[in-house]
């Protein structure tokens, strides 16, 4: 799960991608363009949750300098692992935790055989993947906490697309003879 030499890095179990902005960086409120994704982690995946909590603790220790040289009380920090049942009114987040990860560099996106995925329609909000993430401390403009950097993405399987998007096949399934203009 966690790599030996980097205590702040986690490779998740199977998570669901949401708000997947992984092919092109996007700017939020005029900020630096970033690649980003929300990782929906089932509460039953205790191994991934434990690894994330351990990595967050390691990031707090490593980031002590950003917190004035002292390790702050965890309750005083903005933490990356959030409860989907209390923070989202979205069925996709039910019985799950979530982490929002982002990066200024593009993630490598691969299939189960670790071969690059080039077709952008293959990896989308709603599909299932394993994701490498790295946790790090931040302290800016009075906000202090642990952020989550996006590493790489390995698609595991398809899932129901999130965001209400329909396929072209569904949109244009009606027969041309049903043309409403005729």
CB 12 within 8 A of CB 62: no
Domain boundaries, the chain: 9-171
User: Which residues make beta-bridge pairs with 62?
Assistant: none
How many Å is the maximal CA-CA distance in the chain? Answer: 74
**Separation of first and last alpha carbons in the chain:** 61
pTM of the model: 0.86
**CB contact at 8 A, 45 and 160:** no
Q: What is the pLDDT of residue 169?
A: 65
What parts of the chain have a pLDDT lower than 50?
1-4, 182
Residue 111 DSSP SS3: coil
Query: Does 2.40.50.140 match the CATH number of domain 9-171?
Result: yes
């Amino acid at each position: 799960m966690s790599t030996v030499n980097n205590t702040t890095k986690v490779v998740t179990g199977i998570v669901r991608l949401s708000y997947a902005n992984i092919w092109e960086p996007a700017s939020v409120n005029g900020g630096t363009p970033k690649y980003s994704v929300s990782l929906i982690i089932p509460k039953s995946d205790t191994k991934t949750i434990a690894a994330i909590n351990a990595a967050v603790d390691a990031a707090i220790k490593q980031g002590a300098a950003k917190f004035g040289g002292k390790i702050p009380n965890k309750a005083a920090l903005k933490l990356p692992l959030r409860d989907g049942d209390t923070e989202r009114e979205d069925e996709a987040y039910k019985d799950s935790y979530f982490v929002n990860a982002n990066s200024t560099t593009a993630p490598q996106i691969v299939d189960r055989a670790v071969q690059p995925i080039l077709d952008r329609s293959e990896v989308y909000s709603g599909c299932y993947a394993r994701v490498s993430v790295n946790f790090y401390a931040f302290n800016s403009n009075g906000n202090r906490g642990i952020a989550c950097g996006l590493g790489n993405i390995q698609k595991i399987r398809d899932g129901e697309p999130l965001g209400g998007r329909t396929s072209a096949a569904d949109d244009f399934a009606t027969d041309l003879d049903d043309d409403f203009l005729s």
